Amino acid sequence: MKTIGEAAAVLLIGAALAGADQSSFRCGSKLVLVGATKQEVLGSCGTPAGQEPGATVTTRGKGSGEEQSTVVTVETWTYDRGTNELVAVLTFKNGRLDTIASGGYGTPRK
Strand 96-105 relative to strand 86-93: parallel, antiparallel, unpaired? antiparallel
21-105 — its CATH code? 3.30.1450
What is the per-residue pLDDT across 12-24, written as a single tens digit (0 to 9) for each?
A: 344 444 445 689 9
Cα–Cα distance between 41 and 48 in angstroms, integer?
Answer: 9
What is the per-residue pLDDT across 12-59, written as a single tens digit (0 to 9) for each?
A: 344 444 445 689 989 889 999 999 999 999 999 999 999 998 888 777
Cα–Cα distance between 29 and 22 in angstroms, integer?
Answer: 17
Cα–Cα distance between 70 and 63 in angstroms, integer?
Answer: 11
Q: How many CB atoms lie within 10 A of CB 28?
A: 9
Spatial CA neighbour of 42 closest among 57, 25, 55, 54: 25
